[in-house]
Amino acid sequence: MNTAEAVISQVQRALVGIYQNLCRKHLQRYLDEIVWRWNHREPFREMVKQRTTKSGVDRERTITIWKSIPVVDQLRVLLQGAVGKQIRRSKDFGLCWP
């Protein structure tokens, strides 16, 4: 349940920050990108929190903080399978294929 809520919050954040509008025609593409970014992240650090319950039992809980992988590294992984293709930087710092 927590994972579903977290992905929904990512969709809402993408709607506010990146996409501005989700049209029905391309909705699956938007969701595929959001889920792909969700699946390609790496743990940043783990924290162990200790708490004492009412009965006096100490419990530990591990919390993992995730960070997204930079876009250039994501593209590198995504395009690894494109055999024989080369990517170059354009003059305006975009990506182009020679």
Looking at residue 98, what is its pLDDT?
64
| Cβ atoms of residues 89 and 63 within 8 Å | no
Cα–Cα dist 19/93, whole Å: 22
Dump pLDDT digits (tens) for 67-94: 777 777 777 777 776 666 666 777 877 7
Cα–Cα dist 75/29, whole Å: 16
Dump pLDDT digits (tens) for 6-55: 878 888 888 888 777 778 888 888 888 888 777 777 777 777 777 777 77
What is the arithmetic mean of pLDDT over 64-69? 76
| Cβ atoms of residues 42 and 13 within 8 Å | no
Looking at residue 78, what is its pLDDT?
72
**Domains of the chain: which residue ranges?**
1-39
Looking at residue 85, what is its pLDDT?
65
Residue with tokens 């293709």: 85
